Amino acid sequence: MPVNQMRVAMLSAHSCPVGKLGTKDTGGMSVYIRELACELARRGHFVDVYTRVHDPKDGQIYEFCQNARLIHLGAGEDEEIQKLAVYSYLPDFARNLESFRKNNSLEYDLIFSHYWLSGVAGTYLQPWWRVPHITMFHTLGAVKNAVKEEAYLSLGEDDPELRIETEKSLVQQCHHIIAPTEKEKEALVGHYGASSEKISVVPCGVNLEQFRVLDKAQARQHLGFGDDKIVLCVGRIDPLKGVDKLIRALPHLRDISGLKLVVIGGGEDSQAEIEQLRRLARNLGMEDAVAFLGLVKHEQLPHFYNAADVCVVPSYYESFGLVALESLACGTPVVATDVGNHRMVIRQGETGYVVRDNAPRGLADKIALLLARPSSDKKSALLIRASVSEFGWSRIAEAVIRDCRRVMANYLAPVS
Ligand code: UDP
């Protein structure tokens, strides 16, 4: 093994990092794992990402970048199961991972778990391997519940006490936590009593080669968009994403001719929610102004961001929020709520607006302001893109690697 090479076991038990983005349980975290793993691999590190088998047709090993493999492990039924149901299979998941490791004579220097379920699997593996365990929560149950309580609305069921208690104990058990924003770090300290020395803040990134400025007219032509004013919304279909609030903003924008809201995201598993949103648009008399396109492949999204005039992220909560970053990297301004990374990546009045909350009137006002700007040219798009150039995955990976090395250097394996 080269002296500086790290051998990392990444855990993504419930959600497959190469799964369909935009379905209920597959979004930003999968992008994060894939991009980070490939960046680590490119630097000569060895990364295995372990996930649960979710389809009997899955091959066991899939090399998604040179030196980075995805490994499917049996744990429970070989099919998609409810996220929470994965919890009871985590001991099997950890045991099967250990058998795979032994049978293949693998050794790891580090466990890097993603989301609380994988964090639990990490705590099973850690005493067997005696290596440091770094975790990233991606969302926090206690924050989600607080947001739902504050909104006084039904934003889906509360996250169970099991999750809250598990996250609380994970912050004590793991050796280090990576939080994507200062806000998330404060939440870890405030809600779970995490020690702030254990937490580093490293933002998420964007693939700057993939998400780049294209010719707007060509992007529109490619998608058959014509001359409409396009407002874009991209994400999993989840009440916390606040898409209903954006639809409610449309009547305030009635005077803008040719305005179209394009909503991307939501697979087979989200049809009921999409129908509900469609009904809302119909009741507001705005049905013709909204198009639900369902899932769009990540590789195709740059065309949509480039074709759009404004991208809106009306979420009640984001741990980070990749969509805003992707849109800005494509040179399209963003209106977004004051959650996740939005205040960090959007320059108020220049590259978009951060609004206090997702009240429809406030969203509409800022969308109208951006649509009233003289028609966007390539130069202004490039300026918007330049504002997020520091968020390329390469830099983010370097920061994560620094953290990993520091944690490994400070780790004292227990004496047996
Ligand atoms: N996404 C996609 N196709 C879709 C919907 C979403 O590729 O149909 C991607 C989107 O581009 C982004 C990710 O899914 O990279 C969503 O990440 P974000 O951080 O915005 O939200 P999360 O899913 O983590 O709540």
- Name the CATH superfamily housing domain 7-205+393-410: Glycogen Phosphorylase B; (3.40.50.2000)
| Residue 266 beta carbon below 6 angstroms from any ligand 1 atom | no
Q: Compute the distance between CA of residue 222 and CA of residue 233 in angstroms, rounded to an integer.
A: 19
Q: What long-range pairs does 221-224 form, CB within 8 A, spacing at least 24?
A: 222/303, 222/307, 223/303, 223/304, 223/307
Asked whether the beta carbons of 384 and 351 are under 8 A apart, the reply is yes
Residue nearest to atom 23 of ligand 1 (CA): 27
| Residue 27 beta carbon below 6 angstroms from any ligand 1 atom | yes
Contacts of 329 (CB under 8 A, 6+ apart): 206, 208, 211, 212, 305, 385, 388, 391
Q: Which CATH number fits domain 216-389: 3.30.1360.10, 3.40.50.2000, 3.40.50.1100, 3.40.30.10?
A: 3.40.50.2000
pLDDT tens, per residue, the chain with 416 residues: 665 899 999 999 998 898 889 888 889 999 999 999 999 999 999 999 999 998 878 788 999 999 999 999 988 877 777 888 899 999 999 999 999 999 999 999 999 999 999 999 999 999 999 999 999 999 999 999 999 888 766 677 788 999 999 999 999 999 999 999 999 999 999 999 999 999 999 999 999 999 999 999 999 999 999 899 999 999 999 999 999 999 999 999 999 999 999 999 998 889 999 999 999 999 999 999 999 999 999 999 999 999 999 999 999 999 999 999 999 999 999 999 999 999 999 999 999 999 999 999 999 999 999 999 876 688 999 999 999 999 999 999 999 999 999 999 999 877 66
Would 7-205+393-410 and 216-389 be classified into the same CATH topology?
Answer: yes
Q: Compute the distance between CA of residue 4 and CA of residue 123 in angstroms, rounded to an integer.
A: 25
Q: Compute the distance between CA of residue 219 and CA of residue 381 in angstroms, rounded to an integer.
A: 14
- Domain spans, the chain: 7-205+393-410, 216-389
> Which of 140, 234, 292, 346 maximizes ligand 1 atoms within 8 Å of its Cβ, making it the mutation to test the pocket?
234
